[in-house]
């Protein structure tokens, strides 16, 4: 699955990843400052959700492209079942 830089969905993914990056930096600062465990875990959970959402968005984009490839007959040498299996593995890797 190739990602195109100008793709609007990719821009949204990049924004989520940047948000997660900021949240992770915040978690690091909080730990260094000796902040309350509950606050640190709450911030870490938010970063984890942002990363999960970014991953699912990337997979959704890939699924759309796979369907378009199958419908147009462009399978890049890969049959529909192989494409489905590959996308399923990607999806499950985030579960």
- Mind spelling out the 3-state secondary structure of 35-61? CCHHHHHHHHHHHHHHHHHHHHHHHHH
Which pTM value belongs to this model?
0.68
The pLDDT of residue 30: 97
Tens of pLDDT, residues 7-65 = 777 888 899 899 999 999 999 999 999 999 999 999 999 999 999 888 888 888 777 77
Helix 80-93 crosses helix 37-72 at what angle (to 10 degrees)?
170
């Amino acid at each position: 699955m190739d990602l195109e830089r100008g793709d609007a969905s990719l821009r949204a993914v990049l924004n989520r990843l940047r948000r997660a990056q900021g949240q992770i930096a915040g978690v690091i600062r909080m730990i260094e400052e000796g902040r309350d465990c509950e606050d640190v875990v709450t911030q870490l959970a938010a970063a984890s959700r942002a990363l999960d959402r970014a991953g699912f968005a990337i997979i959704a984009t890939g699924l759309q492209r796979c369907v378009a490839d199958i419908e147009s007959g462009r399978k890049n040498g890969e049959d529909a079942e192989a494409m489905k299996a590959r996308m399923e593995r990607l999806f499950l890797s985030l579960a």
